[in-house]
Amino acid sequence: MQRIRLRYTKRGRLRFTSHRDFQRAFERALRRAEVPMAYSAGFTPHPKVSYANAAPTGTGSEAEYLEIALTEPRDPERLRALLDESLPAGLDVIEAVEARTPGLADRLTASVWELRLDGVAPEDARRAVDAFTAAGTVEVQRRTKNGVRTFDARAAVVDLESVENPKNPESAETHSPQADRPTDHPCAILRLVVRHVTPAVRPDDVLSGLTAVADLAPPVPAAVTRLAQGLFDEETGTVTDPLAPDREAAATEPHPAGATAAATAPA
């Protein structure tokens, strides 16, 4: 059984698709691309797809991950192209690697988020960020299925800063050229690095915290995009690429015998 790990995006209006909506769209794409999927056992077999830490509905993302299991070997890049063609624009499969190391989900320990606050002056955002980062704890409330829960939104935040809003996103080193945000008018842009903890601290929780400590209240809902997620490097303070170990292993390990001949897409 071959396992392939994919990185995909949620862009534009597709940010409003739920995780269940994406699951349905992805399973249809698997059928269209004639991917030789492995299936679970039992009375209702399902394709073996493992989803990892999906972004909340309403947020864009440049870094969503999943893993699929195949009954026949396929070339990862060819498979990526077939799946990308079979999905709607906005749900884009942008990377595929063969799984050669265990524990993809264990490598997703932090996320980098971009929050666009339309109608908020950058200087007001910077003052709110300073107040938030200076606070020891920032308690916020979130409604859950078990009622309203209060928790600390500050402890999970590794870094929070106000950044420039370049007219040309390609000129910014740390911005993706395809990040889901307009740049034709001034607004405050926040960069957030948050650990994946329990209970999960989401970007909207941090926004609630900014309101609590500095009365920062954007006049319209924030546009939120996940730029990256992966293993948090304590030494450098960065979020590393979770697929890098698989690429490194592929560069040093021999390809399984016979896989080259079989690693072709169906005609």
Residue written as tokens 């993809």?
Answer: 104
Average pLDDT over residues 3-27: 96
Q: Nearest to residue 179, comparing CAs of 117, 240, 224, 232? A: 224
**Res 116: pLDDT:** 96
CB distance 126 to 171 below 8 Å: no
> Which string of DSSP letters, residue by residue, matches 159-185?
EEEEE---SSGGG-TTS-TT-S---SS
The average confidence (pLDDT) of the chain is: 88
**Alpha-carbon distances, residue 256 vs 2, 73, 260, 265 (angstroms):** 10, 9, 8, 17
How many C-beta neighbours within 10 Å does residue 111 have?
26
Query: What's the rounded mean pLDDT across residues 235-261?
Result: 79
- Predicted TM-score (pTM) of the model is 0.85
- Pairwise pLDDT comparison (257 vs 244), residue with the higher score: 244
Per-residue pLDDT of 184-222, as tens digits, reads 556 899 999 999 998 899 999 999 999 999 999 999 999
Residue 49 pLDDT: 96
DSSP, res 119 = T
Q: Contact, 48 vs 68, CB < 8 A? A: yes
Residue of 84, 82, 64, 85 lying closest to 18 (CA atoms): 64
Which domains, ranges and CATH numbers included, belong to the chain? 2-102+242-257 (3.30.70.580), 110-239 (3.30.70)
